[in-house]
Structure 1
């Protein structure tokens, strides 16, 4: 076939030469074809004199289709016609054209494209073969396929076939091969070729070795040609473990103990996988023994037993006491005997062995022999219902139980320390206290002797607190203690007050007013002192203010002020007379009382009230309101530049004072008792005067709150003229 291909090419060349010679002889334009593929034809020509461009047209002869047209400049003398139809005859026409578009010369030649290359699908079904397949090529009469190692070693294999598939066998495993294939037509002319590189799948690894190492499986092998990766599979029938690597060894972790694994290795490359190697068997280390039981079959002897382990050839039991001493037992059976001592804790572990090694560490058991009775203990009360018990520690005791029993009541305390505090004991009770050592494995040692302890008396319960007098309080309580003395305490900011009794009541005296107290009681006996009773609040009535001052503000309003009364929060003041009553309640230490009748005698009282409503009634010296201001105050003109002030007196026994104040002078006159007018001589005219008439107190002091009136005194020549009333003044009192 390779010879037929050579003859066909020679014939084509001869045909082209003939056409070129004929064309050259007739036209002077020669065209030669120098390369043909399934989709292209390459041609060239020499420069034609006078041509400024060239035009090449290719038209399919035996196929319906459009023509291909190409233009070239005068400097282009070759081209490749592409996108042609495979195995098709084309008529190719070349034209030399001058700059005016006139064809100077032309020629035509016929050329056929070759068959298209077959597109291969390649695989390596096993380590020594390569399988190929391809789709049929149009107009192909047969196919030629060659195969050779890519490194050039060995001989080339060639196969001719009319089929569309082929298998090469007896190849080298894991080797890269170069494959070439082409089709030929009925005339034996070859088409385009297709090249592909394919590697054969690897051979199975050789010399597989397995070893058990620290719970993992180490697998090694000899590398195989062409393998890129390896996969190790270890199976025990229920579980498959895998390990992938690119080296020649691999570690498979997490092997199950007491199992037999079958191990195989598979090589991989881009072509596929090898066959797995023959399985290698490996037995793992035995599992740790289970169902371990420890019992003291008789005092001083321990029996350790366990269940049999698969693939376990023999067993070793290690027993270590808490003082550091260790002994062991080697046996092919499932039990061992050891000597033991009282009050010791033993730590016991069991291992199984086979050729692969020692089983992993299983559960470590501890066994404690019965502890001894604690030595002499002490019981000391730390409060009325709490006793602290201490003792010397004993060997082998994990826990101590302290028990306090009285009648049907039992109080327990468990602790790992050689001390315990028993709380919430019943008061006024005799207890039997016992300390037992305890081991979780062996229980308690109940041979310890008890001690007898009596608790402190019960706390009294205050039933009633009552007032017997201003500063005397009686306290009553209830208690069932025997031979107890009771102490009652009133505690407050003012200090401490006590009373003592062997009965059920006592009296607190000389308590200060306005004070708050907390009253509690305790009981005492030879066994100790009780907890205090619940406190009862006590409050004494507030103290009366020491100082009280009354000041008349206006004719009908009086201001009362006082010093603070201890313990008082609010105050109520009262002024009372046969004519009526004035009352004021306040949180302050002063108050304004209205509706006061002038010239009246009042009794003064004050109530001091605490926050809780306790009241103290306080009485003070009587109070007399001031005399009433006169009414009907008027001015009259007198002869010789004088003025008379007239009023209506509220009481003929009261003395009055008259004041006139103006811009030209101030004038005062005081009439005799019983008179209701007063004369002022030589008063300047032509001025406005403010007139006030006020009663005088016992100390001849003028009242400052009587009303003022305004009068204008005109002049008549140099003498006083008319007196005109201008109304009342709102200015301050004078």
Structure 2
């Protein structure tokens, strides 16, 4: 068997008195060629045929009878019409080709970009691989075999696989600028990524050739499903990866307060918002005095605010990602402080008394009450003293002063006792 079908060397023993040699080569598929030669000669023969060769010597007067035939085969022809097919989503690929002259079997080899080759040996004209790798481009060539001879390789064709599934998706939220970012590791065989964010009936989609996207149009208080689908120009992209992210809470609204003047307890109330795990109400003065209360509902209470201060009240909604404070605040005036330094000066000649005190923080006006066993005297003023007339002589009076604002009254001072003349 001669495996080099391109050039076959034919030779014989020289005879005397020979002018010329007539070489006849006959192939099994109808090929016939006759050479005139004076010595051995190379002959190019078609692939994939069984041949016999005879040599006839020609003299000046007579010709010999043809020699006994010599037999040989040439290597099979390279397989024609190689065509590849792919089932991207199943990591399967196949190849078909036309039959080759002289072939007894075929070897198809698929070689990936990583250099790994997968071989298929068959006596048919097709092969299928079911364990190809995602993200690969396989170059496929087919050779025909016949005994110890192998044909030249066929023209190559390419099998393209589905891109690999993206790995290590990571979603983050920038609470300051209200942007959600998603990143992932590059996946083999990908030219573009389709990235979508879905919450309820709202979907946002972008296409990118990098491995990071930023969403600036997400809504507050939503749980978004984020999906990355890789694509290339050969496969539609069936491998997806997904993760979830909760956006920033919606800001609380409708913040209001209710104050129990007697106990000093303040109740802060607001409208519950989407995306919040808990709330923090903050009451702060211009001088830096701050008090907070926390709740997982839409209200919380604060006991014992510092008396006589004007508080600015805000509510912050929080989840695992962000803290969002209400855009509008409300104000609260805490209960006025109780009057201090209360004193009494008697005018015995006129049977009157002047009660005075120090200013109370947060007070707009004051109310005074003097009690005795015979009569009670009251006085209301915006100043820091009050004159008590019509005091009954020879009585013991108990005096208390209360500070008031527009909504609440302080607790009274500790009673001061004096005797009239």
Structure 2 counterpart of 1:650: 273
Q: Say whether the 8 Å CA contact 2:230–2:240 is kept in structure 1.
A: yes
Structure 1 counterpart of 2:170: 549
Structure 2 counterpart of 1:428: 48
Structure 2 counterpart of 1:465: 84
CA distance in structure 2 between the partners assigned to 1:524 and 1:650 by the alignment: 75
- What is the TM-score with the length of structure 2 in the denominator? 0.59
Matches within 5 A, 1:591-610: 591-610=213-232
1:578 matched to 2:175: no
Structure 2 counterpart of 1:488: 108
- Deviation at residue 540 of structure 1 after TM alignment: 0.6
- Deviation at residue 635 of structure 1 after TM alignment: 9.3
CA separation of 1:496 and 1:706: change in aligned 2, threshold 3 A? farther
Structure 1 counterpart of 2:407: none
CA separation of 1:519 and 1:653: change in aligned 2, threshold 3 A? closer
Q: Of the two, which has the highest radius of gyration?
A: 1
CA distance in structure 1 between the partners assigned to 2:228 and 2:96 by the alignment: 34
Structure 1 counterpart of 2:294: 671
Gaps of 5+ in 1: 1-378, 722-734
Number of residue-to-residue matches in the alignment: 326
Q: Say whether the 8 Å CA contact 1:519–1:535 is kept in structure 2.
A: yes
CA distance in structure 2 between the partners assigned to 1:600 and 1:635 by the alignment: 28
- Deviation at residue 455 of structure 1 after TM alignment: 0.8
Q: Say whether the 8 Å CA contact 1:694–1:702 is kept in structure 2.
A: no
CA separation of 1:477 and 1:662: change in aligned 2, threshold 3 A? farther
1:507 matched to 2:116: no
Query: C-alpha deviations, 1:319-343, integer Å up to 9, x for none?
Result: xxxxxxxxxxxxxxxxxxxxxxxxx
CA distance in structure 1 between the partners assigned to 2:121 and 2:146 by the alignment: 13
1:475 matched to 2:95: yes
Q: Say whether the 8 Å CA contact 1:652–1:675 is kept in structure 2.
A: no
CA distance in structure 2 between the partners assigned to 1:390 and 1:683 by the alignment: 124
CA separation of 1:635 and 1:502: change in aligned 2, threshold 3 A? same
Q: Say whether the 8 Å CA contact 2:48–2:103 is kept in structure 1.
A: no
1:561 matched to 2:183: yes
CA distance in structure 2 between the partners assigned to 1:457 and 1:492 by the alignment: 26
Structure 1 residue corresponding to 2:75, chosen from 456, 461, 480:
456
Matches within 5 A, 1:86-125: none
- Deviation at residue 675 of structure 1 after TM alignment: 3.2
Q: Give the SS at the match of 2:294.
A: coil
Q: Give the SS at the match of 1:552.
A: strand
CA distance in structure 1 between the partners assigned to 2:137 and 2:36 by the alignment: 42
Structure 1 residue corresponding to 2:318, chosen from 684, 696, 711:
696
CA separation of 1:509 and 1:617: change in aligned 2, threshold 3 A? closer
Query: C-alpha deviations, 1:695-720, integer Å up to 9, x for none?
Result: 232xxx47145566799999x99957
Structure 1 counterpart of 2:212: 590
1:529 matched to 2:170: no
CA separation of 1:694 and 1:587: change in aligned 2, threshold 3 A? farther
CA RMSD of aligned residues (A): 5.2
CA distance in structure 2 between the partners assigned to 1:643 and 1:401 by the alignment: 124
CA separation of 1:504 and 1:635: change in aligned 2, threshold 3 A? same
